[in-house]
Structure formats: structure tokens, C-alpha cells
Chain A
């Protein structure tokens, strides 16, 4: 008979009380084990939340600060800069030409950012190399016409968040492996989102499409 079988046999002959007592005796090391486990868990958790994002994303500052709040106030609405063209395509981030509709030669205002803008770009007639937070991977086609007033009448906040209230440009973070903006996966490293704009993965698009149109869409609806 093997040891295991012996043990099983012995077990059945001792009383339940004795068994529990035995168990408690056997559990001596358990406390240490639990503590070790908790420590290991904390280390791993902290590592993945604090350290891993630092390794994964590189930080890039925008050429200079852009004050959306002020611009919306001065220009009246978003469409002054971001609009649909006649063929239905979206203008995206304005080119220097659009800026120059207001910023002609003389600086408008006295901020340092204005100085950089005028000196580095306006005077040199150079386009501003903005980092685009919402930029999707190359294989994605996104139709603004299909989502805004001409289409699904969505509010821009739903995807872009309360951008019109920002006075500064946050640091752009880029995934070192994929080269994608961090906004795609979202700020939260575990992919948890609280607001509709916290994450912009394919699953997020598909979920909304499913809810709103009854179907998540065929591949080519959003791929190119």
C-alpha cells in the first residue's frame, strides 16, 4: 500500500475534533505564506501600475501650449477651425493658414507660447508639428461626417472629452512598441474606463455601434 493510501486510512480512524486540531497545527506556516503572498501581490501590482507604463510609453511635449478654452471663446465655436469639407472629409487639426486668418503678423496676446508660435512657426512659415492625441493606427478609417451633425449627431465630447475647457496641452505619450498614442489604450493601464472618452480601442467603437445601430459593423466599415 502506498503512503497516500495509508494516510487516507489513518485519517478515517481519527475523530473530527482531532483532525481539526491537526489542521491547526499544520497551518503554522500559513500566516507567513499569506503575508508573503500579499507582499508579492503588492509588489507586482505597484510594478505594473507605476513602473510598467513608464517603460511602455515615451513622453513628448507639444511644440507649445495651446489654449482651447481661449480659442473657443474668441472664435465662437469649434467649426471655425475643425470642419467638414464639401466632399465630406474632415479638416482635422488646422494648418498654419487657418491660424493666420486671425494671427496676422503681430502677436495676439503676450504669453510665452504666443512668442514661440510667432517666432518659430509664423515667421518661418512652418507648419506646427502637433502630436495628435486621438490619432488612430494606420489601418483605421474614421468618418467624422458619419458621427457628427451630418450623421449620428454625436457630441464631440463623447470621444474627445471636455477638450474645449483645457487651457494647456498635456504631455503626449507614445507606446514604444506600437507607436500609437496612449489615448487608444487609455490612461488606465488595466484598460478600465470611467468616461466614454477614456479609451478608443476597436472594442469601444464596436460596442457603441452595436448599441446604436444593432450591429458592430463589418471590418471594412472602419478599416482601410
Chain B
């Protein structure tokens, strides 16, 4: 029925089947939208946040999607600026994932603020000393860049591309994409960093505070680095999921291996920096303020040393090692394990840098504060996931996202892939 829209030579499932799938995900999306409107009209009392937990699930979700969305800027930078040719086979997809992540982040922020109608104050009355101001500016600009990067791919849709204007526009935009990739990389370095800075500058919170370079605390650099490291892992993970769901091989192994290798080396270097940072903080920064390391990991029912070990060893050193060593990297199962662990690792890091900060008591006579999100918070956090799945499904169905798809699926039966 919609075959005229489907990329030439590509095989897609029937429209009714596709529609049913979309309807199921759409139902989840609607649930999230309902919760979103509840929050907007009734206020943030719909959440389980409180005065101890001013930053909670949403801010975590925000940081997490931006971190995993880092694949877009880093892959773009490698593709266009360092001119690594192979990556052109995955860059479209990386951009779409980035677009989804960043639009979700903006939406979550719009739900998260207590007076959404005053959201523009952050631009109009900007306090340039605040990390959040920097985040807001760079985030919005980078989202615009991602949109521009996404447009040519949309215009390559079979019908759109028949219009000469669109055809040329897409062509010419590809030509100047290097400028946008550079802008995107520049902006990303800043907002990824300032998101890390958000925590690092809170010198009233010994769990968060870090020394740093000039006005930037170490978390600034660590966040950028970890996004560049784990973002590509997430891109690979989503690609893998898409391949499993569609039952097709979409990207050639050499491309996957290359990106995995880059991600692996980034993770390894990052985790070394992270370990140094943690040790310095645990043995110098915190003790200088009178805190023992155990203060942050004991005396409560949830946050223990396990979280530190999981983040750094299981979800840092392990995936890093797997992806760096050639034999393990090229083993599909181990690689899958590594990219899953990596994605969990970066999300866990963001969790720690938002929720654990709030949970740790600072005044000596204060107590730990734990929190469980309300269904409205969960629903609005699931909302971007549902939206992401729908957008990926639509893009995959109607746009030539994977340049190698045709070649990989023309003669050989799909089962032989991998």
C-alpha cells in the first residue's frame, strides 16, 4: 500500500503488521503524554520528588539520554572531520538516535521545570555563571544542528527525492555537512561538559564537588569524555536491536568493528581518568572537608560500594577491555555484552551524579533520603523511549538510513548474516 514511499529495492513488512506494531508502542506513548499533561496542569506535586530530591528521575533521564546520544556528535566528528570513510554507513543512524535523544531531553526539561511558561527566562535573564545556562544554550543549538543533519536523510525519501528542489537541497546539504558536524562537535563538548559541571560545581555537596581547571570542574571533562566513549556503544546497541527486530543485516561487520574499537579505546582511557578522579576525590577532596569515603556508601539501604564497583569495574573496565582486544571485539556475543554493559555503565554514572548526590546527608545530624518515583514520572520517562522506537521504525521503513542494506540483503538469505 505504502510501497511507493519505501526505499527502492528494500523489503519491508506489510503495512497492517507495521501499523499494529506502531499502535502498541503508540499506546505507551499516549500513556506518557497523559502523564505529561497531568504534570503540566496539576504541577509537580504529581511526582514523588520532594525538597530533598529536587533533582530526580527526570534529570537522570535527561543526562542519560544526552550521554548515550553523544554517539551522534562523536561519530559525526570522526566521519566528517577525521574523515573516516567507513562510518558513513552508520552516520545516518547515529544522527537519528542523537535527534531522538536530544528532542527527548528538551521535552523532559520542559516537563521538569515548575513554571514551564517561564522557561524562556533561562535565555532572557541568563546567569552566565550557571552551568545550567550553558547547558540550555548549547543543548538548544545542538538540537538545531541535529535537525539540520537529519533533514537530508528525510529528503532522500523516494517520493521527496523526486522533487528537484528537495533533491538538490539534500545533495548540497550533504556537501556542507562538515560545517555542521564541526559545530555539533564543538557545542557537544560544551554541553556534555556543562552537564558534568552541574554536579561538579556544587561545592556545598561533598559527594559532587570536584576540583578542576579554571572554571571547569573535572566532571566537566569526564562527562564529555564518557559521552564520546559510550555514545558509539549505544549507537551500536540500537543498530543491533534494529537488526534483530527486522531480521536483516544492516551494517557491515567492518564498520561495526571499527566503531566498537574506537568506543573501546575511548572507554579505556575514560575509565582510567575516572579512576584517577575517584581516587583523588576519595583521598584528598572529601577528607579535606571532613568526610570519610564510607560516609557516602554506608548507613543506608541502597547506596553501597557495589554501585562504585559496578560502575567502574563491571560496566567500565570490562566492556573497555572486551572492545579493545581484537578477538573479543569480533566475537558477536561478547561484543553485545560489552555494548550493553557500557550503556548501563554510563547511565549508572549519571544516576550516581544526580540521585546519589541528593541522597547523601550533608549536615552531620541529617539522614539519608531515598526516593521512589511516582507513576507519572515513570510514564514521562518511558515516553521518550516509545517516541524513539516509533521514530526509528518510521525512519527505517521510509528512509534510506542504511546505505549498505541493499547490498547486504540482495541475494543472500538473511539468516547467514553475522
User: Do any CB atoms of chain A lie under 8 A from CB atoms of chain B in the complex?
Assistant: yes
Chain A residues with CB under 8 Å of chain B are 2-4
* Alpha-carbon distance A3/B167, docked complex (angstroms): 10
Closest to B169 in A: A4
Which residues of the other chain, A, contact B167 by a CB distance below 8 angstroms? 2
B164 on the A face (CB < 8 A): yes
* Alpha-carbon distance A58/B353, docked complex (angstroms): 50
Closest to A4 in B: B168
Which residues of the other chain, B, contact A2 by a CB distance below 8 angstroms? 167-168, 171
* Alpha-carbon distance A3/B165, docked complex (angstroms): 10
* Alpha-carbon distance A3/B168, docked complex (angstroms): 8
* Alpha-carbon distance A2/B175, docked complex (angstroms): 13
B172 on the A face (CB < 8 A): yes
The 7 listed contacts between A and B (C-beta, < 8 Å) are A2-B167, A2-B168, A2-B171, A3-B164, A3-B168, A4-B168, A4-B172
Q: Convert B162-185 into 0s and 1s, putting 1 for each residue whose CB lies closer than 8 angstroms to a CB of A.
A: 001001100110000000000000
CB distance from B117 to the nearest CB of A (A): 11
CB distance from A99 to the nearest CB of B (A): 42
* Alpha-carbon distance A192/B164, docked complex (angstroms): 47
CB distance from B9 to the nearest CB of A (A): 23
* Alpha-carbon distance A3/B171, docked complex (angstroms): 11
Chain B residues with CB under 8 Å of chain A are 164, 167-168, 171-172
Which residues of the other chain, B, contact A4 by a CB distance below 8 angstroms? 168, 172
Closest to B164 in A: A3
In terms of DSSP, what is the predominant structure of the interface of chain A? helix
CB distance from A79 to the nearest CB of B (A): 39
A-B CB proximity, top 6 nearest: A4-B168, A2-B168, A2-B171, A3-B164, A3-B168, A4-B172
Which residues of the other chain, A, contact B172 by a CB distance below 8 angstroms? 4
CB distance from A86 to the nearest CB of B (A): 38
* Alpha-carbon distance A3/B172, docked complex (angstroms): 12
* Alpha-carbon distance A2/B171, docked complex (angstroms): 9
Which residues of the other chain, A, contact B164 by a CB distance below 8 angstroms? 3
CB distance from A193 to the nearest CB of B (A): 20
* Alpha-carbon distance A205/B238, docked complex (angstroms): 55
* Alpha-carbon distance A220/B253, docked complex (angstroms): 63
* Alpha-carbon distance A4/B172, docked complex (angstroms): 10
Closest to B172 in A: A4
* Alpha-carbon distance A4/B171, docked complex (angstroms): 11
* Alpha-carbon distance A4/B164, docked complex (angstroms): 10
CB distance from A144 to the nearest CB of B (A): 28
* Alpha-carbon distance A2/B173, docked complex (angstroms): 14
CB distance from A149 to the nearest CB of B (A): 34
* Alpha-carbon distance A4/B170, docked complex (angstroms): 13
CB distance from A59 to the nearest CB of B (A): 26
* Alpha-carbon distance A168/B164, docked complex (angstroms): 68
CB distance from A87 to the nearest CB of B (A): 34
CB distance from B118 to the nearest CB of A (A): 13
Which residues of the other chain, B, contact A3 by a CB distance below 8 angstroms? 164, 168
* Alpha-carbon distance A44/B168, docked complex (angstroms): 35
* Alpha-carbon distance A2/B164, docked complex (angstroms): 10
CB distance from B233 to the nearest CB of A (A): 38
* Alpha-carbon distance A88/B101, docked complex (angstroms): 57
CB distance from B241 to the nearest CB of A (A): 37
CB distance from B127 to the nearest CB of A (A): 12
* Alpha-carbon distance A2/B167, docked complex (angstroms): 9
Closest to B171 in A: A2
* Alpha-carbon distance A101/B17, docked complex (angstroms): 87
CB distance from B174 to the nearest CB of A (A): 12
Which residues of the other chain, A, contact B171 by a CB distance below 8 angstroms? 2
* Alpha-carbon distance A50/B164, docked complex (angstroms): 44
* Alpha-carbon distance A3/B166, docked complex (angstroms): 12
CB distance from B165 to the nearest CB of A (A): 10
* Alpha-carbon distance A2/B168, docked complex (angstroms): 7
Which residues of the other chain, A, contact B168 by a CB distance below 8 angstroms? 2-4
CB distance from B379 to the nearest CB of A (A): 31
* Alpha-carbon distance A159/B167, docked complex (angstroms): 61
CB distance from A140 to the nearest CB of B (A): 17
CB distance from A101 to the nearest CB of B (A): 46
CB distance from A72 to the nearest CB of B (A): 41
CB distance from A153 to the nearest CB of B (A): 32
* Alpha-carbon distance A2/B166, docked complex (angstroms): 12
CB distance from B110 to the nearest CB of A (A): 21
* Alpha-carbon distance A2/B161, docked complex (angstroms): 13
CB distance from A191 to the nearest CB of B (A): 15
CB distance from B229 to the nearest CB of A (A): 39
* Alpha-carbon distance A34/B171, docked complex (angstroms): 32
CB distance from A206 to the nearest CB of B (A): 12
CB distance from B164 to the nearest CB of A (A): 6
* Alpha-carbon distance A3/B164, docked complex (angstroms): 9
* Alpha-carbon distance A4/B173, docked complex (angstroms): 13
CB distance from B335 to the nearest CB of A (A): 40
